[in-house]
Amino acid sequence: MCCSPCRRAIARAQRLAVETLRGLERVDWLLARHLRKTPPDHVRNILRLAAYELCSGGDPHGVVNAAVNLVATAKRGGHLKGLANAVLRKIAADGPEAYGALRVPHLPKWLLKPLQAAYGSPKVADIERAHFQTPPVDITVKNPDELDHWAEKLGAVVVLGGSLRLSAAGQISALPGYDSGAWWVQDAAAALPVRLLGDIAGLSALDLCAAPGGKTMQLAAAGAGTRAIDISPTRLSRIKDNLARTQLQAQLEAQDALEHSGASYDIVLLDAPCSATGTIRRHPDLPHAKDGSDFFELIELQRRMIDHAVSLLNPGGHLVFCTCSLLPDEGECQIEEALQRHRGLKIDPSVFEAEFIDSQMMAAPEGLRLRPDMLSDQGGLDGFFISILRWNEE
């Protein structure tokens, strides 16, 4: 177990890395002005981190010295410490002003083009601006009756009918209510699918791809008899830990979702594997870690999972399909095609009548489309698609 100073240091390092990735286009542009050729990756990344820290108000003397010392001890890079010192001193002098004047970083072409085709260039520009903002922290309260209590206790505001939003959360595990399991971290968009189901006490529910477990805990907290499966035992162990912390009950099984059989359920929740392009505001590394080459494989997997999920429903039961993707091929198009394959499957429009659902989220007949630029005055949202369908076997 790490001590508190260690946890703070780790959290600080993580924030620095995340924010450097968020502004990487700007950082690289500034560095390119002072570099004749690109240094080795490990040296380049030290320069990137230091340049961002300088541009965001870091102490010039301390930042430059720390970066130069890191370069000096790097294998195959120690001879570049003089270069690092010279470049970073120049960044310290004019970087902060120049950084703020640069354009908002653009999405990579592999993602930019399909999003422009789906939403148009002006809306994609809004999405890019939302990605460039550091997101707040959202939490879900175990007992909705205590929502106002925890909002006041944590200095949070309520968004989307039941999520608490903290603009400056700090160390999550040190906040009131964490140790007692009164709440858990969960983006407001991700919390919406279960919340829209309303009163589900006493119903049977299956969370098909359960990790990281926020929806499993929502189902259990709402009184549903919940079974959660995930192909990864490691991820399931984290869900087990969170269930223990929140004192909630769910049956956990490490299993491929496509192999689950032998039971039927009133609710089947499928938060399907996807491109995760809706989570860039919280994971700015994603545009650099992916290239779009897995789109077709993911779309085919989602199709197969939907068909399997339908086979697990009780008559009159609900299928909740959602993806943290901005791509219609992983959302609206999947549901449009599923309705053609399964004539007994019907969209249940009544679940989308909640007063906290904005009309712009209902632009598609297949379900709700949430974008990062929505709720922009309150910190934005993850990109998300949600459809809730009722099964009446013909």
DSSP-derived 3-state class of residue 384: strand
Nearest-angstrom CA–CA distance, 359 and 118: 18
Strand 313-323 and strand 265-271: the pairing is parallel
Are the C-beta atoms of residues 158 and 147 closer than 8 Å to each other? yes
HSE-up (13 A, CA, CB side) for residue 103? 8
Cβ neighbourhood burial of 394 (10 Å; 0-12, 13-18, 19+):
exposed
Beta bridge partners of residue 369, listed in sequence order: 385
Nearest-angstrom CA–CA distance, 249 and 237: 14
Beta bridge partners of residue 180, listed in sequence order: none
Distances (CA, A) of 219 to 98, 245, 246, 357: 49, 16, 13, 20
Cβ neighbourhood burial of 169 (10 Å; 0-12, 13-18, 19+):
middle
Nearest-angstrom CA–CA distance, 199 and 92: 56
Cβ neighbourhood burial of 219 (10 Å; 0-12, 13-18, 19+):
buried
Report the catalytic residues.
324
